[in-house]
Amino acid sequence: MPSVAENANARPTILVVDDIPENLEVMHHILGSTYRVRMASSGRRALDLAECEPPDLLLLDVSMPDLDGYAVCRAFKAQVHLADIPVIFVTANATDNNEQVGLACGAVDYVSKPFNPALLLARIKNHLELKAAGDRLRAYHAELEREVERRTHALVVARDGAILAMASLAEARDDETGNHLRRTQGYVRVLAEDLARQPGFADVMSTSYIEMLSKSAPLHDIGKIGIPDEILRKAGKFTHEDRAIMQGHPGIGRRAIEKAEQALGEPIEFLTVAKEIVYGHHEKWDGSGYPQGLSGTAIPLSARLMALADVYDALISARVYKPAMPHAEAAAIIRAGSGVHFDPAVVAAFDRCEARFRRIAHDFSDSDTQARRLEVA
């Protein structure tokens, strides 16, 4: 069974502020049997008490020597953890103008002295009930927001898992590894974050867009799932026919994503970015790439970023048809491709982020040998 002290603490707390001791005694006599009463003889003392233990309601005199009631009310409303506490002015200054000033400060009511104790208790009860209802509503909204965040997070995790599963399925049929996906994803994010700080790109490279780029990057070669093994794993030189079939993988990937869009029944920004990367990352700045032969800024920015990331990783990685290349040689090839294969602005971003490229390549290397090579390159 709860103790007397526990029952007292469960009662709403009223903070009474008045610089006249007799007035405080009267208020304690009226309120003490129903509420837990705390008293302050000055505005500054009231603020100190509220800071330690916020009350449920504030009964406030206007005329006080240090801080007047209006200043105390404004101070309460200016602090997030005190702003929702109802303030009732109880004062002999009961002109219409004073009441307007008090209400403008954020008070919920204005009681004139002398007052009817029963009426004061009724007003206090009403405002406490309103505050309790508001607290319940805020708590409900907060819980709804947390639930939305939880479900959104679950959807994002599921989406990211599906992306990586789809991308890894394509990579598993190639000689590349899952670390290739992580590395290229990291390179794309690094380039995008750098460009976000450069003139002409800041408006495009929002935080949400960079996040979409990073999440979409692992899908860049998903179309390889439709390429025959004898071509995908071929160690020798491609014939003209082999190359034509291999160059069909961007279109295969794009059609797969379009089917996903159709199944969902509405366009999704994330899949739009994924399509750009899948279909455009083999385009070249000078127009000599494929599948469309786009040039310059006609190539989506997302695909331009992916192009550099993919080529760099292909250069530093061993394949059945070639050994891995040291970082310095790969970086030289990237720079030589500025304005030819790659967007010069993206190459400039690579120059500024070269150390971060090496760190990503090292942290997600396919072997200890590759990691050591990157350390000394």
Segment 65-87 shows an average pLDDT of 93
Higher-scoring residue by pLDDT: 96, 8: 96
pLDDT at 3 exceeding the cut of 50: no
Higher-scoring residue by pLDDT: 142, 266: 142
Q: What's residue 6's pLDDT?
A: 44
Query: What is each CA distance from 90 to 46, 203, 353, in whole angstroms?
Result: 15, 54, 65
Percent of the chain with pLDDT strictly greater than 90: 62
pTM, whole model, 2 decimals?
0.59
Q: How far apart are CA 371 and CA 377, in angstroms?
A: 10
Cα radius of gyration (the chain) = 34
Q: What's residue 342's pLDDT?
A: 98
pLDDT at 159 exceeding the cut of 80: no
pLDDT at 375 exceeding the cut of 60: no
Band (2; pLDDT cuts 50, 70, 90)? very low
Please, where are the H alpha helices in the chain? 4-10, 21-31, 43-52, 69-77, 96-105, 117-172, 178-195, 207-216, 229-232, 240-246, 249-264, 269-280, 301-316, 327-336, 344-352, 354-363, 368-376
Higher-scoring residue by pLDDT: 152, 349: 349
Segment 153-176 shows an average pLDDT of 63
Higher-scoring residue by pLDDT: 144, 264: 144
17 three-state secondary structure:
strand
pLDDT at 4 exceeding the cut of 80: no
Query: Which tens digit of pLDDT belongs to each residue from 312-350?
Result: 999 999 877 788 999 999 999 999 999 999 999 999 999
Q: Which domains does the chain have, with CATH numbers?
A: 4-142 (3.40.50.2300), 173-376 (1.10.3210.10)
User: Cis (ω within 30 of 0) for the bond into 291?
Assistant: yes
Residue 191: closest CA among 360, 352, 351, 349: 349
Band (162; pLDDT cuts 50, 70, 90)? low
Segment 7-26 shows an average pLDDT of 87
Segment 60-71 shows an average pLDDT of 91
Segment 220-234 shows an average pLDDT of 87
Q: If you search the block for the tokens 């939880």, which residue do you land on?
A: 150
pLDDT at 376 exceeding the cut of 60: no
Mean pLDDT, the chain, rounded, equals 87
Q: How far apart are CA 315 and CA 332, in angstroms?
A: 11
- Distant-in-sequence, close-in-space partners of 175: CB < 8 Å, separation ≥ 6: 233, 319, 320
Q: How far apart are CA 351 and CA 349, in angstroms?
A: 5
